[in-house]
Amino acid sequence: MTEWLKEQLASGLPGLRGTTISGTVAVHDALINELLTKWLDTERGGGAPPGPGGAGMAEMRRALAFVRRMAVRTEAGRLLVDFELGV
């Protein structure tokens, strides 16, 4: 599955062309803090990009190209990310 996803991302997701996905994901603050820390370390040149063995940043950047809308909000003490992806 990982290899298929990498191939799809590298070639512009041809298997999903025309698809739109939207939803809401509840995110724990610990995950947000970890991602921000890794991102800041990477931007400063002090750490490896997220992913196994430091890989994954290129795939993440390609995936972000498909984000059509994203909003972060809180509700009942939870951090929620509303998103829409389009291919």
Instruction: Check residues 15 and 70 and name the one with the higher pLDDT.
Output: 70
In this predicted model, what pLDDT tens digit does every residue of 26-73 receive, in sequence order? 988 888 888 888 888 888 876 555 555 455 667 677 778 888 999 999
Count each helix (H run) and each strand (E run) in the chain, helices first. 3, 3
Domain boundaries, the chain: 2-86
Q: Which two tokens stand for residue 5?
A: 């996803």
Q: What is the pTM of this model?
A: 0.53
pLDDT for 82 beyond 90 = yes
Q: Provide the pLDDT confidence category of residue 23 given band limits of 50, 70 and 90.
A: very high
